[in-house]
């Protein structure tokens, strides 16, 4: 009757989360960060014209444009900003 | 061997191309070959990949941007309107962006990019390149005759195909690697599945389009590429150079057609020195052409008394190009 109470995580679940926090989280973060950098590299070689660097024949770069619309503003900021020491810590 | 022989001996060569410097008669020979093949009962499409196409002029009928137009039974001609194609394509991209993100209006920065991309010089070539794929994979015709752009452009067109191909390979690989990292992260975080990478799919689509197009240009089984030249010093030298470059891109060179030959019989008649000198000059260069290209010279076509426009003149050229029935 009624809605089921959300199940309290068992001991095993807790242990999994702790282990993930200790070991997995950093690796996952690293993987995502790498992927993020590659995403920007990808946009650079497909949409280079946006920065004035034509790399890809424009006919086909237009085909890819719709998929990268959300990334374009952050990408431009990243590509054009000055680098400083704190970048190494990020 | 004659051109007629060649086509009969290699019935699988379904993509025929005439290349050469501007103004030597590529369009004329494309039209005449299409005419001859159509008369033989084959369904033929002759189409132009030149932004300044002249098929409309030779057939004396406005076919620009009208798709494949039937000129006579079995003979169809088409001129690609690259400008319109680009405009439609831009609109398609805009619509896709609006649909994907539920927007009312394309963001200004993106709109500027769409506009700028269309203004680039490479845009027209790539648009035509892409249109050719549509025409050829349609497979509705027995023969496809490419009325090519002048040599420099044709080389650009070919090199573009191989550059595109390598470029796409590289970014497809990068994209696949990105997918791996995303997957690692999602396994760590025990997410279900990573979403399917639509960009990777688009890239594979683009790659397949480019491969189809450049595959035809370099297909030794189905394609024949003929050079058009005239008996003049510079043209011979340039043709030799171009033939070397084309061979490097693996274009199946199949022979040479010599155009604008002044009929040798004229020498017997009372003709002015001006013409006699030109005859002597051509005789020298014709020998040179025979020495250089020998058996690969498939036809010699005489200079006509007037320019080639309209079907009756095209018929005359076809007769000169292919000879009578065997």
Whole-model pTM: value is 0.78
Choose the closest CB to B120 out of A39, A42, A58: A58
Listing DSSP states for B166-190 in one string gives HHHHHHHHHHHHHHHHHHHHHHHTT
pLDDT single digits (tens) A38-65: 777 777 777 766 665 656 667 888 888 8
A53 and B CB contact within 8 Å: no
In a domain, B97, yes or no: no
In a domain, B103, yes or no: no
Q: What pLDDT score does B58 carry?
A: 94
CA distances from A5 to A8, B30, B164, B168, B326 (A): 8, 78, 57, 52, 92
Q: What is the pLDDT along chain B (326 residues), one digit of tens a residue?
A: 789 999 999 999 999 998 888 888 999 999 999 999 999 999 999 998 776 768 999 999 999 989 999 999 999 999 988 888 899 999 999 999 999 888 888 888 889 888 888 887 778 877 877 888 888 888 899 999 988 766 666 666 667 667 777 777 887 788 888 888 877 777 766 655 555 577 778 878 887 887 787 788 788 899 999 999 999 999 999 999 988 888 888 888 999 999 999 998 898 999 999 999 999 999 999 999 999 998 999 999 999 988 999 999 999 999 999 986 54
* CB atoms A69 and B178 under 8 Å: no
Residue B258: strand pairing partners: B229, B300
> B33-55: b or e for each residue (b if 16 or more CB lie within 10 Å)?
bbbbbbbbebebbbbbbbbebbb
Say if B136 falls within a structural domain: no
Task: Decide if B168 is inside a domain.
Answer: no
Give the three-class secondary structure for B32.
helix
pLDDT for res B157: 63
Q: Which domain holds residue B267?
A: 3-83+142-150+223-322
Cβ–Cβ below 8 Å for A28 and B206: no
Torsion of CA A58, A63, A64, A66, to 10 degrees: 120
Cβ of A69 within 8 Å of Cβ of B96? The answer is no
Q: Chain A residues with CB inside 8 Å of B114's CB? A: 62, 65
Residue A39 · residue B178 · CB < 8 Å? yes
Question: Is residue B11 situated within a structural domain?
Answer: yes
**Residue B125 domain flag:** no
Helical H runs in B139-232? 151-188, 198-217
Q: How many domains does chain B have?
A: 1
A12 touches chain B (CB under 8 A): no
ipTM higher than the 0.85 cut:
no
Instruction: Tell me whether A18 touches chain B (CB under 8 Å).
Output: no
Question: What CATH number corresponds to the domain at position B288?
Answer: 3.40.50.300
Q: Is residue B202 part of a domain?
A: no
């Amino acid at each position: 009757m009624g809605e089921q109470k959300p199940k309290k995580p068992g001991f095993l679940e807790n242990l999994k989360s702790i282990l993930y926090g200790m070991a997995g989280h950093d690796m996952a973060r690293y993987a995502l960060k790498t992927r993020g950098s590659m995403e920007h590299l990808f946009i650079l070689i497909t949409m280079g014209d946006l920065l004035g660097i034509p790399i890809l024949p424009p006919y086909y770069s237009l085909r890819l444009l719709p998929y990268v619309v959300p990334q374009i503003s952050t990408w431009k900021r990243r590509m054009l900003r000055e680098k400083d020491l704190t970048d190494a810590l990020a | 061997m004659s051109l007629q022989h060649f086509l009969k001996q290699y019935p699988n060569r379904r993509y025929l191309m005439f290349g050469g410097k501007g103004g030597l008669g590529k369009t004329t020979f494309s039209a005449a070959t299409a005419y001859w093949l159509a008369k033989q009962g084959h369904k033929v499409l002759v189409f132009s990949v030149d932004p300044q196409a002249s098929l409309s002029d030779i057939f004396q009928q406005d076919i620009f941007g009208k798709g494949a137009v039937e000129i006579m039974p079995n003979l169809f001609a088409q001129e690609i309107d690259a400008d319109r194609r680009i405009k439609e394509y831009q609109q398609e991209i805009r619509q896709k962006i609006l649909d994907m993100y539920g927007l009312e209006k394309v963001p200004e920065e993106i709109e500027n990019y769409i506009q700028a991309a269309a203004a680039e010089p490479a845009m027209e070539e790539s648009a035509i390149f892409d249109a050719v794929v549509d025409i050829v994979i349609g497979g509705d015709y027995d023969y496809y005759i490419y009325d090519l752009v002048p040599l420099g452009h044709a080389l650009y067109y070919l090199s573009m195909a191989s550059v595109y191909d390598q470029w796409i390979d590289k970014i497809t690989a990068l994209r696949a690697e990105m997918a791996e990292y995303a997957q690692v992260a999602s396994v760590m975080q025990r997410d279900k599945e990573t979403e399917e990478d639509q960009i990777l799919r688009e890239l594979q689509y683009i790659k397949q389009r480019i491969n189809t197009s450049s595959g035809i240009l370099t297909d030794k089984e189905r394609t024949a590429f003929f050079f058009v030249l005239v008996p003049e010093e510079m043209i011979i030298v340039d043709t030799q150079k171009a033939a070397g470059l084309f061979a490097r891109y693996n274009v199946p060179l199949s022979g040479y057609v010599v155009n604008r030959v002044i009929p040798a019989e004229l020498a017997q008649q009372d003709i002015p020195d001006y013409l006699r000198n030109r005859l002597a000059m051509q005789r020298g260069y014709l020998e040179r052409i025979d020495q250089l290209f020998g058996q690969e010279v498939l036809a010699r076509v005489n200079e006509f008394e007037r320019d080639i426009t309209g079907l009756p003149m095209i018929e005359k050229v076809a007769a000169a190009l292919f000879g009578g029935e065997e």
